[in-house]
Structure 1
């Protein structure tokens, strides 16, 4: 292409296409020179005979003192006024006038006017969808997409129509994103030539689509491009001047950019975007109590509070949201952000109450409804989650909050496979080598609260008493209804010592802070390996109480008792306290204190069976987010533990362990974790060192 060839424009202005066939025109005198007002916001067509196209939408002439009769006026006047009308929000009327004057408008001109008409339909349809909650909220957008398809089919595949096709791709990108069809929005956008000028609306739309599809890096690029374009001198006057429908504003672009950094775990860059938003706001004394400036300040302070929560300053962030609520008590976005923060602190029932109260004032708030659904899933309130799913149905596919709820709800409605694998070497007091696999397959839920499952345990160990295998299978049912969780299973172990037994557990959450639980197993899998080698089996029971203040502080106390077939009575008491001591956007540090004591009534058993022992250990765990991409992440956890072990008759000795773990979270709530652990412990006065490898999978399918 020649060096001065005009760039294709994805959101074309009212300019006739370069190189389009010249219309047949009667002989006319030369038109007056166009207005040279540099800041004119009146879009219009490039006038015939003008040597250089100054922009994609050059200024139109000064307005006529009296509106001309476009059916009889001279060609330059008709073209000037019709393209000006089209680019100023009247494309439908302009198209009608152009079709009535085939002497003044070529087929390419008419196609361009049709594209501008479709653009107006897209903007109007988008505004309609944002203001409605009924099932027909996308009717306007669907009509615009059908018109775009029709125009695309009718245009010849010739070079002069390429700019119109490019512009139409921008319109479709906006329409698909507004409709929630984010994959199509991205696919359509990626057909636009990289060097083509694209409207801010189209860039914002595809940025939202990339975020929706968990592609924050790509979203970041288009948001930054849109911001540069928003602060540059306008080139496409049809996009920058008056148009039908709301325009994307710079603060909206910056909010998208902010979340694109958050979704990548880039806290410093997200903070810089917040600072840029603050600098762009007018002085507070100049802000009226109406208009966009007031909502801009509210958006800024809401994002600041959410940033505090994201970077680990949870109490300060929630306090900031509460302060905002006092100032604007009925703002839906602030109240939804507050409830989201509370839910994220392991207080789903408190969050549910907040969502319900807010929905009384904002019954049409989609974000509030989706938040209620997600909190209900965490609290095992499946009736509420089902109600939310039926309410949103497929009416709000464009909402990221609804997408998040739908993802979690789909995972809940799916069959689930879980497995925990472990291999240990070197702990000869228990076993020289051992391998265990503990797997569950859960059915889809039925009756909202019920699942059936199959459970298979397999273990193999090499000991100085011989090698031993243990396989136990079971089938059972799982019932979860709000604070109550009940599980029951009929089990059968195999081999010469095979037995039929049962296992059951019950847990009840008194509130968001206290949970009590109990369990019973008549054919226990947790006996020492040497006990199984000696053909010993056992029954066990346990109770526990947990106090969880939030996701940063927890205390647990438990008691367990086991009766072995050799008449040994084994008892254990443990207490664990965990405190978060450091939190940032990508790191956290927990410190735990573990205390425990065990006792056995038989000291002459063929397995490790101390009459009484005590242990106290402190653990420091550091978690680092190595990678984050939307819903997906990789976290590394390093743990180091040290303490004292005392066994009656053998005195005290140190114990220690070190652990490395990688935890992956994938789409569809699939999780994978694996790692290694090295530990040192004394048994009957003999120090043992062991190495353990482990792997856990949670797979909804």
Structure 2
């Protein structure tokens, strides 16, 4: 058939070439003749390239379009050929239409396959076309119509009878009536002994009935050739793998991998046979194996096999498995290409919804947020709430709708609209309150929004309601414990995940975070004044603090600290300096965070100090804090020229409604050694108005007031009473990101009014420009510049500062 086709191809090229004019047509060129020879040998790319170049000049004539679609089919681009077919059926040869009908079946587009077979039957009532139509109808779930088509076949030659017998066996198998199919196949094998297709159907029926070893014995006892026996053995391994997929979804613990491990072992044993090294079995063995490896969670091994077999034409199912593997190993761009390839070649596959969901996550994780939303919107449009039940013809709820709606909620949250994602999740839970998958994702969203206690309750309930699926509950409880600084509990849950043999990207991230929480931590802060201002603004001022924390033991960790402040003044001959060393201990746990410690000045003052504080967090919303500092670093630096020291007491209250809105109140008193008692209160409201994957906008409204005692000798800024109101618009852009490693830029603009007793009111404005690198739980680096205009004693001053903050675990 191939030889005859290319004879007609060449003739078609020559005939069409006669009308092409003076320019030598492509089909008359020597290179095209060579391309045809290569195409006969299976290397279709050269001929395709020449025809595509010709097609770019204008529509191809009918004979050339016929040949082009044939070459597309042979090149594995059947879906593309089918897109070009409509409107040209009458011009296509029967062979080409038959190939495209086969391509439609391969694409799981049974309706298109049936349409093409009807076109063929209208031309010629051949048994092969009738058989193809019946098989396409069976694949569409229309078994009764398929059997009616076969029943209407007129008597024919033995070859036609065999063709129709094969088709009937296929239809019965597709209908799911395996008992009737087995009975029919037993009789058909008697009528047509040794027929490879019937033998394959018979053995396949045994496999589907759950009797793979009986199938293997039947293959060995029959006259089946060695290739069929080998194929049956590969089918046996594939059946084990399908059982393994069911076991993976229903069981927990290492035992859930038993069937998949058995399938991998059988696949390896079969592939080791000498006859399996020949085409097509070597490729089949690898194709099956890569799917089994990913099903087993061995993503790295699946990727290694992909790289080892460079150039292999993977099936759509293997490509999708590899896409899952690459996504699991945080290579989303490679995953995206594989998902798209699998969906292009098998858009109607039963697993296509899983692939499209994977594609959405690949786009999300690679930072292609607009493309992610487009793909998600297309998936939503293709997934209605209701579908037609094939058996009854009635409209029923479409379970895929809920999966896509859940995907929409999670993608919304992952694209930094956690409030929108939460609202969508609540709507889903209103319809399916006890759905475990929804509950699991609700817990994940609660963690994302900063509600670890709520998340812990969700995951605890999930563990009770779904005792056979403990993995999700353990992972969620580990995340909640880490957020609450309950490190021992987090370790316990992670050990549980190890016992359950759970190893995915999320669990690996939890393990890494838990490891880093156990490491020492260095926190550095530094500020440098650039202004040269007077009054409250120092000249050549420098301020820094450093803390080095030990690895935690239980809820505790030790730390050492260093603080330095220094400045000179244009109206003072001496420079002010405060420097201290200290050590302390910090406690962190579910109920809050506290610390205490001792300090000692090393700047010549040789004065000791102490501090203690605790922030109590009884729930996910409220925090109540108290702190006391003896010889506080908050004493005015200029006052240290006169050896002024201070003790500071502070109370604070914060209500954090969610990750979009919070309120805070603070009151403090600073008792200075020169007799001054400085009192201050402040309140702020932080509100996020815009939240997206690239841009965020917050506003911070601040009200503050303070009062001081009259101290005539004070050289530091000491207003009797003052107040300030300001609003800051804080904009943030995500400049770059790859998973936890991200780079951000912020621009803050502040406007306000400051009032000082005896000096009246004046305007306040400020500018902040900041960048921040984040390395997940490892640490962060912030650096920036501020410029502030502020009145002091009635005189407006402008100050400029640069700063740098480092938080690093090592």
Pairing 1:302–2:339 present? no
Match of 1:180 among 273, 282, 297: 297
Residue matched to 1:191: 308
Q: Do the aligned residues in 1 keep the contact of 2:387 with 2:397 (CA within 8 Å)? A: no
Secondary structure of 2:429's aligned partner: helix
Residue matched to 1:438: 545
Offset of 1:249 from its aligned partner?
A: 1.4
Residue matched to 1:597: 705
Task: Pick closer, same or farther for the CA change 1:123–1:293 going to 2, 3 Å.
Answer: farther
Residue matched to 2:226: 105
Q: 1:455-490, CA deviations, whole angstroms, 9 ceiling, x for partnerless residues?
A: 233445444444455443322222123123221122
- Mean CA deviation greater in 363-372 or 538-547: 363-372
RMSD between aligned alpha carbons? 4.0
Residue matched to 1:15: none
User: What is the rounded CA distance, in whole Å, between the counterparts of 2:610 and 2:354 in structure 1?
Assistant: 58
Residue matched to 2:758: 649
Q: Do the aligned residues in 2 keep the contact of 1:216 with 1:629 (CA within 8 Å)? A: no
Q: Do the aligned residues in 1 keep the contact of 2:580 with 2:603 (CA within 8 Å)? A: no
User: What is the rounded CA distance, in whole Å, between the counterparts of 2:248 and 2:649 in structure 1?
Assistant: 57
Q: 1:520-568, CA deviations, whole angstroms, 9 ceiling, x for partnerless residues?
A: 2223223343334554433222111111111111111111222334343
Secondary structure of 1:334's aligned partner: helix
Residue matched to 1:128: 247
Residue matched to 2:174: none
Q: Do the aligned residues in 2 keep the contact of 1:603 with 1:609 (CA within 8 Å)? A: no
Residue matched to 1:349: 453
Residue matched to 2:796: 687
Q: How does 1:205-216 map to 2 (within 5 A)?
A: 205-216=321-332
Residue matched to 1:615: 724
Q: 1:405-455, CA deviations, whole angstroms, 9 ceiling, x for partnerless residues?
A: 3343333333333322332311533322233332333233323x2222222
Residue matched to 1:629: 738
Offset of 1:80 from its aligned partner?
A: 7.2
User: What is the rounded CA distance, in whole Å, between the counterparts of 2:493 and 2:575 in structure 1?
Assistant: 54
User: What is the rounded CA distance, in whole Å, between the counterparts of 1:642 and 1:527 in structure 2?
Assistant: 27
Residue matched to 1:358: 462
- Mean CA deviation greater in 409-418 or 312-321: 312-321
Task: Pick closer, same or farther for the CA change 1:645–1:277 going to 2, 3 Å.
Answer: same
- Mean CA deviation greater in 474-483 or 432-441: 432-441
Secondary structure of 1:185's aligned partner: helix
- Mean CA deviation greater in 616-625 or 476-485: 476-485
Match of 2:353 among 251, 256, 279: 251
Higher Rg of the two aligned structures: 2
Secondary structure of 2:531's aligned partner: strand
User: What is the rounded CA distance, in whole Å, between the counterparts of 1:432 and 1:591 in structure 2?
Assistant: 31
Residue matched to 1:486: 594
Unaligned runs of 5+ in 2: 1-36, 44-73, 77-125, 140-162, 170-181
Q: 1:606-659, CA deviations, whole angstroms, 9 ceiling, x for partnerless residues?
A: 333333322221100112223333333333222101112223333322221111
Residue matched to 1:672: 781
Between Structure 1 and Structure 2, which shows a larger proportion of helix residues?
Answer: 2
Unaligned runs of 5+ in 1: 10-32, 44-57, 233-239, 241-247
Secondary structure of 2:580's aligned partner: strand
Match of 1:397 among 502, 505, 509: 502
Offset of 1:378 from its aligned partner?
A: 2.0
Secondary structure of 1:138's aligned partner: helix
- Mean CA deviation greater in 120-129 or 587-596: 120-129
User: What is the rounded CA distance, in whole Å, between the counterparts of 2:252 and 2:577 in structure 1?
Assistant: 60
Q: Do the aligned residues in 2 keep the contact of 1:570 with 1:598 (CA within 8 Å)? A: yes
User: What is the rounded CA distance, in whole Å, between the counterparts of 2:442 and 2:681 in structure 1?
Assistant: 39
Residue matched to 1:455: 561
Number of equivalences: 642
Q: Do the aligned residues in 2 keep the contact of 1:79 with 1:105 (CA within 8 Å)? A: no
Higher relative contact order (CA 8 A, sep 6+): 1
Secondary structure of 1:253's aligned partner: helix
The TM-score normalised by the length of structure 2 is 0.70
User: What is the rounded CA distance, in whole Å, between the counterparts of 1:424 and 1:110 in structure 2?
Assistant: 82
Q: Do the aligned residues in 1 keep the contact of 2:386 with 2:396 (CA within 8 Å)? A: no
User: What is the rounded CA distance, in whole Å, between the counterparts of 2:220 and 2:606 in structure 1?
Assistant: 88
Between Structure 1 and Structure 2, which shows a larger proportion of strand residues?
Answer: 1
Q: How does 1:238-637 map to 2 (within 5 A)?
A: 249-281=351-383, 284=386, 286=388, 294-310=398-414, 317-363=421-467, 364-382=469-487, 384-429=489-534, 430-447=537-554, 449-464=555-570, 465-467=573-575, 470-601=578-709, 602-637=711-746
Pairing 1:230–2:230 present? no
The TM-score normalised by the length of structure 1 is 0.80
